[in-house]
Amino acid sequence: MAEPPAPEAPTIIPLVGEARERAVPVIRDGFVGIYRWHAKRTLREVPTVRALEAGGEVVGIALLDRLAPEVGYVYYIAVLSSHRGIGLGARLLDDALRLFREGGVEVVYAAAQTDNRASIRLFEARGFRSVARKETNWKDGGLGAWGLRSRMRLVPGEQLLGLRLRPTQLASQNAAERQA
Ligand X SMILES: CC(C)(COP(=O)(O)OP(=O)(O)OC[C@H]1O[C@@H](n2cnc3c(N)ncnc32)[C@H](O)[C@@H]1OP(=O)(O)O)[C@@H](O)C(=O)NCCC(=O)NCCS
Interacting residues with ligand X (CB under 6 A): 30, 76-79, 84-90, 112, 116-119, 121-122, 125
Nearer to ligand X, 116 or 168 (CB): 116
Give the shortest CB-144-to-ligand X separation in angstroms: 25
Give the shortest CB-163-to-ligand X separation in angstroms: 14
Ranges of beta strands (E only) in the chain are 11-14, 48-54, 57-68, 71-79, 107-113, 129-130, 158-164
Cα separation, 97 vs 8, whole angstroms: 24
Nearer to ligand X, 14 or 127 (CB): 127
For residue 69, what are the contacts with CB-CB under 8 A and spacing of at least 6?
104, 105
- As a residue count, the chain comes to 180
- Beta carbons of 37 and 72 less than 8 angstroms apart: no
Give the shortest CB-44-to-ligand X separation in angstroms: 17
Cα separation, 62 vs 70, whole angstroms: 19
Nearer to ligand X, 40 or 84 (CB): 84
For residue 89, what are the contacts with CB-CB under 8 A and spacing of at least 6?
60, 77, 79, 118, 122
Nearer to ligand X, 49 or 88 (CB): 88
Nearer to ligand X, 33 or 85 (CB): 85
Give the shortest CB-83-to-ligand X separation in angstroms: 7
Give the shortest CB-2-to-ligand X separation in angstroms: 31
